[in-house]
A and B are shown apart, each in its own frame.
Chain A
């Protein structure tokens, strides 16, 4: 069922790429329309999955990834429609397409363990997914900021210079994405801590719950990314770390997040592997 959104994301990706190269307004509008259709069909898929299991389809890596793609797609659309800047699409769509392949190739149906049947759990996962989607956007914005910065600074006004938005706009969008992401990351982590404390008391025999500590790689890295983004938010306000420094931090933060989301989830962590 995840295939239809994937096909539409891919079509939108192609349109964004053509738009980036040729800069024809009509192609740009087609790209946005395709992405809107992809997001709509994805909403439908996620709605169906919710009806099927009667909770948000975010338990299990495959479904969590699908929800993440959906949120990232929506966040990007929001950004595009509010700023009328389409050039970023060519950077975001490959992420959407790449990640959406995971639920298509491994459509694992996850019945969440009984211990997860708590409203805290859903708030925890949904906030974190949304935070990660924002961070993905911030990282892309940071990366394009660095590209644009390099072209202007080195006086090589070439391919990206004409196509990318101004440094100021990229920086402002980056700042917005990081603050929103940081807020949701904070909520997600706090809810996780509260819920763990509750679950510890109610299910003393659960190995996963007992492994919830800073020693666990997944939790450790989550806290690390929270520190990085907290510093970014703080440094922007008080140290004047805008522009390139902020762009670097966004890229670094998302590299850490990505590490946590994929390899660590599959191979390393012991705490977040509910069967």
Chain B
């Protein structure tokens, strides 16, 4: 069984092509089902976000599967293969594993370390699972990738530090005020970044958010979006004294908040800190406001440099994260190798069990006089003996270090016990006897 990956990402394809190859806006479940019905694709998962469309397949016939995957992309999106082929990347086996692990870890993201991707990978797998399109190989691979993503997040600082202006502002507020519950916010000017910041503040459960703008209508729109209160422009200075966090983002050419304003408005606050976020260009707040003892003033450049610093700190963690990915690839490869012996293990079990059954059957006449409990007990005991006899050989076999030794051992076992293992890979927990090449895993 081989692992195959075909896809486009922000690294290989421009946005308009990514849009045309996007699955997420349409029914992802239908897409993965359409892919899975192709004869060469034993197991399929489709991962689609705004930055990537990737299809993962496990197949016994990699050449056919690769053709099928390209054909699927072309047919599903009604695109000529020539129009997207130059932008495709294709990986197989270990390279495909590495790619998925890096994606789940956030290493392949546009903003390295961003947290959403892991959830998106989980959703993609869940969809395939719900539609019964995945199987033991992709199941193991994807679950493994979740663990890699989690490990990278807990063991490295790859996802640490805000990397957008609005997140940086909220992170700062939390370092000043601790929990933001009940903190009062005043937003002056309803622009894009102030909207984002207000939204983040709202999700951090701040208290009242007051919004003012020169045009009352835009204040009201923003107020509705963040469950805030719109107040007239003229009243803004009056409410300044009650605010803990002030966000300014007007188009004013001159500062609208001077030191005198803030001093007067906050005279009664004593030393309670006031956090002023000035994201306007040109600046809305006189820099002298920042000289006040209890005022923390950050303008857009300050926040930008915080973001820059965090980005470079994340970059410094990349090596550490890549090391974790490599480590996990080695572990995954050894799991995959252990699957090579599965047919032999299954055959061995079947052989032993067949002997057990036939012996029990042979003795059936002698057991006839026994009560049913005793017969059940005999069945149970013989089964346990077989299990115990096979436990160590099974574990030893799966732990063999390389493929060559594996082949030698399985051949020896086949000869010693007259086994004829079926070629199809089967889960070791499923020792059902008749899995021919035609039966494909869809469970």
Contacts and interface: CB of A to CB of B under 8 A. Distances in A.
A114 interface: no
Interface string A232-254: 00000001111111000000000
B306 interface: yes
Given A152-B176, A153-B296, A157-B309, A241 B302 contact: no
A162 interface: yes
Interface in B283-321: 293-294, 296, 298, 302, 305-306, 309
A249 B154 CA distance: 38
Contacts of A157: 172, 306, 309
B178 A165 contact: yes
Interface stretch (B47-55, B67-75, B270-278, B419-427): B270-278
A148 to B, nearest CB: 7
Interface string B159-189: 0110000000000101111110000000000
Question: Which range holds the interface residue count of chain A?
Answer: 20 to 34
Contact of A152 (B293, B296, B305): B296
B155 interface: yes
A152 B175 contact: yes
A11 to B, nearest CB: 23
SS class of chain A's interface: helix, strand, loop or mixed? Answer: helix
Contacts of B157: 23
B174 A166 contact: yes
A123 B294 CA distance: 41
Residue from A153, A155, A239, A240 having most chain B Cβ neighbours under 10 A: A155
Interface in A160-180: 161-162, 165-169, 172
A239 B157 CA distance: 42
Contact of A166 (B154, B155, B175, B302): B175
Contacts of B296: 152-153
A119 interface: no
Contacts of B160: 162
Contacts of A24: 155
Given A152-B296, A242-B272, A243-B271, A168 B172 contact: no
Contacts of B154: 25
Residue from A148, A167, A168, A242 having most chain B Cβ neighbours under 10 A: A168
Give me the 7 closest cross-chain CB pairs, A-B, nearest first: A240-B270, A168-B178, A166-B178, A169-B178, A166-B175, A168-B177, A242-B271
Contacts of A152: 172, 175-176, 296
Contacts of B302: 155
Interface of A: 23-25, 148, 152-153, 155, 157, 161-162, 165-169, 172, 239-245
A168 B298 contact: no
A148 B272 CA distance: 16
A206 to B, nearest CB: 48
A165 B175 CA distance: 7
A93 B305 CA distance: 34
A241 B271 contact: yes
A161 to B, nearest CB: 7
Contacts of A172: 178
Given A24-B155, A243-B271, A245-B271, A168 B176 contact: yes
A169 to B, nearest CB: 5
A166 B177 contact: yes
Contacts of B177: 166-168
Interface residues of B, number: 24
Contacts of A25: 154
A152 B177 CA distance: 12
Contacts of A168: 176-179
18 contacts: A24-B155, A152-B172, A152-B296, A155-B305, A157-B309, A161-B175, A166-B174, A166-B175, A166-B177, A167-B176, A167-B273, A168-B176, A168-B179, A172-B178, A240-B270, A240-B272, A243-B273, A245-B271
Nearest to B157: A23
A243 B294 contact: yes
Contacts of A166: 174-178
A162 B314 CA distance: 13
A245 B293 CA distance: 10
B224 to A, nearest CB: 30
Contacts of B270: 239-240, 242
A247 to B, nearest CB: 11
Nearest to A243: B271
A155 B273 contact: no
Nearest to B305: A155
A161 B178 CA distance: 13
Given A152-B175, A240-B271, 4 more contacts: A153-B296, A166-B175, A241-B271, A244-B293
Nearest to A240: B270
Nearest to B313: A162
Contacts of A242: 270-272
Contacts of A148: 175
A165 B178 CA distance: 8
B49 to A, nearest CB: 29
A157 B179 CA distance: 19
Interface in B7-43: none
A38 to B, nearest CB: 27
B119 to A, nearest CB: 22
A174 B309 CA distance: 31
A162 B271 CA distance: 23
A162 B273 CA distance: 19
B113 to A, nearest CB: 15
A24 B77 CA distance: 46
A153 B176 CA distance: 10
B138 to A, nearest CB: 31
A165 B177 CA distance: 10
B312 to A, nearest CB: 12
A23 B154 CA distance: 10
Contacts of A162: 160-161
A155 B298 contact: yes
